[in-house]
Amino acid sequence: MTSTLTVTTPSASATPQDSCAGDDPHDVVETRLWLEEHAWLYQLLRSESNISPTFRFPDLIAACVSLVFAQQDAATRIFHFLGTQLVLREPQTPRRREAMWWPQYELLLELQRSPANRHPNPKFQLDQLTTASVALCQIADDSGVQVLRQARRNMAERAQQKRQMPSG
């Protein structure tokens, strides 16, 4: 697993491999979640709706990011949440270390590097962008049904992409 605690660009050795199950540690990237959003995802992880397959944190976080970025105003919505709600929380709030899939990490990394996150605007870190994505999904659908549905779609897309990759 690659860590986003120090942002690096993916190297050739850090690209997803040929596993449909995603068992290569380079398929996921470490991130952090603020406790409030982590607690909601944990409830979703343990819910009766999360069955066959049972999705884990990388799937749930990636599904949240995918859902937010499926909308044209994703950046606006994320920065609005950060600037109006997350900024009011205690900055030293503990975070939980988790992971997400590479494709969704790349979406957040692009947003982190965007002009909206540069001077004169405040600079938000990856954990804050990730947390905002999860929070926006919770606000939109506290039941988490949409997140689980998106986790299934993401899993199918990963499997399809890996199937199309030439074997080496």
The 10 Å CB-count burial string (b at 16+, else e) for 18-48 is: eeeebeeebbbbbbbbbeebbebbbebbeee
Please tell me whether residue 125 adopts helix, strand or coil conformation: coil
Q: Cα(154)–Cα(66) distance, rounded to whole angstroms?
A: 8
Which contiguous run of DSSP H or E holds residue 19? none
Q: What are the two backbone dihedrals, phi and then psi, of residue 48, each rounded to the nearest 5 degrees?
A: -65, -20
Amino acid at 81: F
Domain ranges for the chain, please list them.
Answer: 2-7+20-154
* Closest among 24, 4, 6, 22 to 14, alpha carbons compared: 24
What is the pTM for the complete model shown? 0.84
Q: Residue 38 in contact with residue 66, Cβ under 8 Å? A: no
Give the β-pairing of 28-34 and 95-101: antiparallel
pLDDT 10s digits, 78-93:
999 999 999 999 999 9
Q: What is the pLDDT of residues 93-145, one digit of tens each?
A: 999 999 999 999 999 999 999 999 999 999 999 999 999 999 999 999 999 99
